[in-house]
Amino acid sequence: MNKVFLQNKKVEVSIVASASWSAPVLWRFRTPHQCESGRGLPHSKTLRQIIATALSAVLLANVANTNAQNISIPARPEKLVFPPMNYEPPNAADYRVQLKAGPVAYVVPDRTLPLVNIAVYVRTGQYLEPAGKEGLAELTGWLLAHGGAGTNTAEQMEERLAFLAADLGADIGDTQGDVSLNLLSKDLDEGLGILRDVIYAPGFQEDKIKLRKEQMLQEMKQRNDDSAGIEAREKVMLAFGENFWMNHHSTAASVEGITRDDIASFHHRWFLPESFVIAVSGDFDRAEMIAKLEKIFPGIHSGGGSPRIPTNTTFCAPGIYLVNKPDVNQGRVSMFLPGIQRDNPDFYAVTIMNDILGGGGFTSRILNRVRSDEGLAYSAGSRCSGGVYFPLTFTALFQSKSRTVAYAASIVLEELKKIKDAPVTDGELNIAKRAYIERFPRNFATKAQVAGVLASEEFTGRYATDPQYWKNYRTKIAAVTVEDVQRVAKKYLTLEKLAILVVGNKEEILLGHPNHPVKLEEVGGKITDQPLRDPLTMKPMVK
């Protein structure tokens, strides 16, 4: 530490500055009339001159100290050398608690802020909806947060949560439900009482049921307004088959036919202690929190848990599927193939291959070709997430002006062939691997993330089958070789199965661009018209 003390007849100034300048400069001013005047620069011109002199002395001292330590500053940024990152992910066993009633909880104290975050994950979802009651899961999830609970009406609950500055949320999606609460730690006991009522004694208020049904109906009417929504919906139809449970969409008839008894029955059947996984983080004592959780999750009604998620997917025939949406000037394109599950031994090599091909943003081949070189799209890339319960898809996707859709698709196809036919470079491999390794700590940046990630591993079953997944992740990414990338590209980029979904102005897309004489059928083969669906019935609309 460097210290400089300057005095005049009336003022004493103390300045403390660290050699690295990472610590703040501290000031203390004393006069005959004031014992301490606080922090910050003084207003007196004389004092400012004194301070400037003092700071100059400190700066010179720091320069001398730096020279004394022979610290070498590189001439260019790329010559900077950093020590290896030393980071280990949290150990799940340190936070995991098996509650007596059946739920597993991950309890992660964090005294940084006077807040507590609680999330209860539930093994339920749209895959459990009875035929003809599509929309039931979504409606039930919304009502858990907005339909009242315990002795409180919906209005009383809303008012109380606002008073506590607490945030209550609930949702039931495809394969998971969740109820979450964020509040000040001083209100924890009341918050846990509210959470217990929401989970075990929801009100399902009739006027709120009516309100949400009306909202869902309005949302349905907008299904064909956005081409992105059409693309996402039709891709799932083609990739998994119209009879797959994910493609059993809610309709006006199914939502209108849902009764309060249906909602109560769905909740009662699937909200069971053994179906819960809990993530808790925040300002609390760990032992005390565990004791509180034991009280709000008692061993009551048990129905044996949720059935396995169906996996009977059917991939479409190869070719081009074109949805005509004449009111847009861009075509949205998804070029997709059967994918893999996350427990596939090739998962790490496929991850790196996809990053080089299109998942790595501005370092990836597809974006560089389609956007940077040709200027055909603002966004282009690829995705290949390992499925949890069944294989998902490998998808290359972009949006381009209608007339250049075929040309852009031909470029993407070229890149798919190139990564199969020739090895990637050592530089590409290194950039992709370093990106995943160096971003790794972000998964656990906060205590809430730690609790959430570990609870998700428990919920999806990976903790039981691969408890060392996060510990070994970087090692397995680092072990991927150039040969591995080409091997998995040849194995999984089965272009003879390629399906291409295009949503846009059919006439303009098929016309092509005069400067690029590429026809869409030359890229992907036979073109099949994929009709728009009636937004209220989800049946194909016939011209």
pLDDT for the residue numbered 306? 79
pTM of the complete model: 0.84
Judge contact between 267 and 145, C-beta under 8 A: no
pLDDT for the residue numbered 50? 54
The Cα–Cα gap between 500 and 46 comes to 75
| Residue type present at position 328 | V
80-111 burial by CB neighbour count: b if 16+ within 10 A, else e? Answer: eeeeeeeeebbebeebbbebebbbbbbbbbbe
Q: What DSSP element (H or E) covers 382?
A: strand 380-383
- CA triple 513-407-352, angle to 5 deg: 160
Q: C-alpha distances in angstroms, 270 versus 55, 133, 144, 299, 302?
A: 68, 16, 13, 15, 9
Q: How many helices and strands (H and E) does the chain possess?
A: 19, 15
CA dihedral 438, 440, 444, 445 (to 10 degrees): 30
The Cα–Cα gap between 200 and 192 comes to 12
What are 441's two structure tokens?
């700590």
The Cα–Cα gap between 237 and 306 comes to 25
The Cα–Cα gap between 488 and 502 comes to 27
Coil vs helix vs strand at 87: coil
What are 245's two structure tokens?
């449970």
pLDDT for the residue numbered 17? 44
Query: Which of 346, 420, 352, 403 has its CA nearest to residue 382?
Result: 352
Q: In the chain, what are the domains?
A: 2-74 (no CATH), 92-296 (3.30.830.10), 319-529 (3.30.830.10)
pLDDT for the residue numbered 365? 98
Beta-bridge mates of residue 331: 400
What are 246's two structure tokens?
């994910």
Burial of 542 (0-12, 13-18, 19+ CB in 10 A): exposed
The Cα–Cα gap between 31 and 24 comes to 23
The Cα–Cα gap between 276 and 263 comes to 19
Coil vs helix vs strand at 159: helix
Give, for all 543 residues of the chain, the pLDDT tens digit. Answer: 444 444 444 444 444 444 444 444 444 444 434 333 344 444 444 545 655 555 565 555 555 555 545 567 888 887 888 787 789 999 999 999 999 988 999 999 999 999 999 999 999 999 999 999 999 999 999 999 999 999 999 999 999 999 999 999 999 999 999 999 999 999 999 999 999 999 999 999 999 999 999 999 999 999 999 999 999 999 999 999 999 999 999 999 999 999 999 999 999 999 998 899 999 999 999 999 999 999 998 765 555 677 899 999 999 999 999 999 999 999 999 999 999 999 999 999 999 999 999 999 999 999 999 999 999 999 999 999 999 999 999 999 999 999 999 999 999 999 999 999 999 999 999 999 999 999 999 999 999 999 999 999 999 999 999 999 999 999 999 999 999 999 999 999 999 999 999 999 999 999 999 999 999 999 999 999 999 999 999 999 986
Q: What is the DSSP letter of 111?
A: -
The Cα–Cα gap between 157 and 198 comes to 10
The Cα–Cα gap between 524 and 412 comes to 11
pLDDT for the residue numbered 519? 94
Q: C-alpha distances in angstroms, 332 versus 323, 328, 359, 400, 504?
A: 10, 10, 18, 7, 6
Judge contact between 380 and 313, C-beta under 8 A: no
Judge contact between 249 and 134, C-beta under 8 A: yes
pLDDT for the residue numbered 15? 47
What are 223's two structure tokens?
């299904």
The Cα–Cα gap between 195 and 208 comes to 19
What are 143's two structure tokens?
């009502």
pLDDT for the residue numbered 74? 86
The Cα–Cα gap between 283 and 289 comes to 10
The total of other beta-carbon atoms located within 10 Å of residue 539's CB is 10
The Cα–Cα gap between 372 and 531 comes to 33
pLDDT for the residue numbered 64? 54
Q: For tokens 């609790």, what's the residue?
A: 451
pLDDT for the residue numbered 51? 57
Q: What is the DSSP letter of 357?
A: I
3-state SS of 315-349?
CCCCEEEEEECCCCCEEEEEEEEECCECCCCCHHH
The Cα–Cα gap between 392 and 15 comes to 62
pLDDT for the residue numbered 33? 40
Beta-bridge mates of residue 180: 119, 169
